[in-house]
Amino acid sequence: MNERPPKYLPVLLLCLYALALLRLVVFKGPPHFLSDHIRHFGFANVRQGYGLANFIPGKTLYYYLSLREDAETGLQNIGGNIALFFPCGLLLPLAFPSFRSLGRLLAAAFIISLFCESMQLLLAIGTFDVDDLLLNVLGAWLGFICLPRRRRVIQKKV
Condensed to tens digits (0 to 9), the pLDDT of residues 58-92 reads 999 999 999 888 889 999 999 999 999 999 999 99
Determine if residue 70 is left, alpha or beta; phi over 0 gives left, psi from -120 to 50 gives alpha, anything else beta. beta
Residues 49, 123: Cα–Cα separation, whole Å:
7
Residues 7, 107: Cα–Cα separation, whole Å:
24
Condensed to tens digits (0 to 9), the pLDDT of residues 11-32 reads 999 999 999 999 898 887 777 7
Full DSSP string of 73-141: HHHHHHHHHHHHHHHHHHHHHHH-GGGGSHHHHHHHHHHHHHHHHHHHHHHTSS--BHHHHHHHHHHHH
Residues 134, 114: Cα–Cα separation, whole Å:
10
Q: Note the Cα 3 to chain centre separation in Å.
A: 31
Q: What is the pTM of this model?
A: 0.83
Condensed to tens digits (0 to 9), the pLDDT of residues 88-122 reads 999 999 999 999 999 999 999 999 999 999 988 88
Residues 78, 65: Cα–Cα separation, whole Å:
9
